């Protein structure tokens, strides 16, 4: 069992959709955990590729695939291959501009024990890949979730990761899928923000606790005839939570999405979305985990802290996937249009080594 790959399936994160002043639709996420699975790279999956959505480990063969499909659309995002025909994407974008990813949903996720009639079985880590391979819009994602597949409670690599999902399309609508005790909940026309547990409905209602938060500073304050003049900026946002818990990150991103100035074009929009996601990112050392999980000799780069391993941002119109890593904040990208003619998968290293641009080198 490749236990280091098992680890990343339990990651947490923050996700947000946004747009630019010229109408570009963006979606981005932070992936937060205390290790990165070996083999995780920016991964291109071609149109027409065959893949499985359910794997079983046997003594005779490492993997036996079930629920085999042919990809209708090409996609690119960060992920890995558990087997040649079993790609996992943590998030990504397809050639129709559908974007989305998985988020950790600890204590709340519930999956089916029996596959519903006339549906295909899907183990939770394969859902992003399947949706991006088969759906062009949020409407199609919704139909597939309600009618075409069953999320099954079957271990993969010794675990059933608790997940929920968020998808956004080229029109800008966002849908959130949450497998709860009462079944799979589908939230349409959401505010376009999601973090981790509790569920979306709870987070949405919790925003009422911060209804007074605003972007405008408070000016002068009068107390018993005494006038106190403003001496610092940001007083309108007093009370906005600043910790790294899931509820606080949700509130912070919702506030930023409402008030932050959108980019004029894709370039500005992407940079500003990265900046927005930094407000919810985990600095290394600030979130010490109380339940790090079982660590084996195969796990690499394990630290006792959750931190933001990487941030990914994508644009539905240009089909570009941008990313940064914790140690390398330089924004890199791949363009899906450049890859569509390829018939085989391609992977690109995340590039975690720091890069610096020295302006004086060779200048004298």
pLDDT band at 18 (very low <50, low <70, confident <90, very high): very high
Please check the confidence at residue 11 and state whether its pLDDT lies above 80: no
Q: What is the pTM of this model?
A: 0.93
User: How many CB atoms sit inside 10 A of residue 159's CB?
Assistant: 15
Confidence at residue 221, expressed as pLDDT on a 0 to 100 scale: 86
Please check the confidence at residue 64 and state whether its pLDDT lies above 70: no
Task: Give the range among 197-211, 282-296, 319-333 with minimum mean pLDDT.
Answer: 282-296
Confidence at residue 66, expressed as pLDDT on a 0 to 100 scale: 74
Region 129-149 average pLDDT: 97
pLDDT band at 38 (very low <50, low <70, confident <90, very high): confident
What's the CA gap between 77 and 64, in Å, rounded? 25
Confidence at residue 3, expressed as pLDDT on a 0 to 100 scale: 37
Residue with the bigger pLDDT between 43 and 158: it is: 43
Largest CA distance in the chain: 84
Percent of the chain with pLDDT over 70: 91
pLDDT digits (tens, 9 = 90+) for 308-357: 999 999 999 999 999 999 999 999 999 999 999 999 999 999 998 999 99
What's the CA gap between 71 and 87, in Å, rounded? 12
Residues noted as catalytic: 13
Residue with the bigger pLDDT between 184 and 160: it is: 184
pLDDT band at 82 (very low <50, low <70, confident <90, very high): confident
- Under CATH, which number does the domain 3-213+243-348 receive? 3.60.60.10
Region 149-169 average pLDDT: 92
Confidence at residue 5, expressed as pLDDT on a 0 to 100 scale: 42
What's the CA gap between 182 and 185, in Å, rounded? 8
- Tokens standing for 197? 């547990």
Confidence at residue 83, expressed as pLDDT on a 0 to 100 scale: 83
Question: Which helix or strand (DSSP H or E) is residue 128 part of?
Answer: helix 127-134
Burial letters for 307-317: b for 16+ Cβ neighbours within 10 Å, e otherwise?
Answer: bbbbbbbbbbe
Closest CA to 321 of 278, 280, 270, 282: 270
What's the CA gap between 297 and 128, in Å, rounded? 29
For 336, phi and psi rounded to 5 degrees?
Answer: -60, -30
Confidence at residue 37, expressed as pLDDT on a 0 to 100 scale: 83
With tokens 């209708």, the residue in question is 72
Dump the DSSP string for 32-44: EES---TT-EEEE
- Tokens standing for 265? 């074009």
Average of per-residue pLDDT values in the chain: 91
What's the CA gap between 60 and 295, in Å, rounded? 27
Closest CA to 256 of 308, 192, 314, 203: 192
Confidence at residue 364, expressed as pLDDT on a 0 to 100 scale: 66
With tokens 């996609």, the residue in question is 75
Confidence at residue 1, expressed as pLDDT on a 0 to 100 scale: 34
Confidence at residue 12, expressed as pLDDT on a 0 to 100 scale: 67
Confidence at residue 157, expressed as pLDDT on a 0 to 100 scale: 74
Please check the confidence at residue 2 and state whether its pLDDT lies above 90: no
pLDDT band at 296 (very low <50, low <70, confident <90, very high): very low
Torsion over CA: 336, 338, 340, 344 (sign): negative
* Ranges of each domain in the chain: 3-213+243-348
Please check the confidence at residue 10 and state whether its pLDDT lies above 80: no
Please check the confidence at residue 4 and state whether its pLDDT lies above 70: no
Question: Which helix or strand (DSSP H or E) is residue 142 part of?
Answer: helix 138-143
Confidence at residue 162, expressed as pLDDT on a 0 to 100 scale: 94
């Amino acid at each position: 069992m490749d236990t280091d790959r098992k680890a990343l399936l339990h990651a947490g994160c923050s996700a947000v959709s946004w747009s630019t002043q010229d109408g570009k639709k963006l979606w981005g996420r932070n992936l937060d955990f205390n290790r990165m699975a070996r083999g995780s790279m920016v991964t291109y999956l071609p149109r027409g590729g065959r893949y499985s959505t359910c794997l079983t480990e046997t003594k005779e063969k490492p993997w036996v695939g079930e629920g085999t499909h042919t990809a209708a659309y090409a996609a690119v995002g960060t992920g890995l291959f558990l087997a040649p025909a079993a790609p996992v994407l943590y998030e990504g974008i397809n050639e129709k501009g559908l974007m989305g990813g998985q988020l950790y949903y600890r204590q709340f996720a519930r999956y089916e024990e029996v596959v519903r009639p006339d549906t295909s079985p899907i183990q939770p880590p394969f859902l992003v890949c399947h949706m991006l391979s088969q759906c062009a819009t949020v409407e199609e994602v919704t139909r597939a979730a309600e009618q075409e597949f069953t999320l099954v409670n079957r271990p993969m690599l010794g675990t059933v990761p608790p997940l929920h999902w968020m998808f956004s399309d080229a029109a800008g609508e966002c849908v959130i899928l949450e497998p709860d005790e009462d079944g799979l909940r589908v939230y349409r026309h959401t505010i376009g923000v999601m973090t981790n547990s509790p569920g979306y409905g709870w987070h949405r209602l919790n925003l009422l606790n911060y209804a007074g938060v605003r972007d405008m500073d408070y000016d002068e304050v009068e107390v018993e005839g005494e006038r106190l003049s403003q001496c610092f900026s940001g007083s309108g946002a007093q009370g906005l939570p600043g910790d790294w818990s899931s509820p606080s990150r949700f509130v912070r991103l919702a506030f930023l999405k409402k008030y932050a100035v959108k980019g004029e074009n894709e370039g500005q929009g992407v940079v500003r979305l990265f900046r927005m996601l930094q407000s919810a990112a985990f600095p290394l050392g600030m979130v010490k985990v109380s339940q790090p999980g079982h660590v084996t000799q195969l796990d690499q780069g394990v630290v006792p802290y959750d931190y933001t391993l990487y941030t990914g941002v994508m644009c539905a119109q240009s089909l570009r996937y941008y990313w940064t890593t914790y140690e390398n904040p330089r924004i890199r990208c791949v363009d899906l249009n450049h890859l569509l003619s390829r018939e085989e998968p391609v992977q690109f290293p995340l590039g975690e080594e720091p890069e610096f641009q020295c302006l004086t080198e060779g200048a004298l």
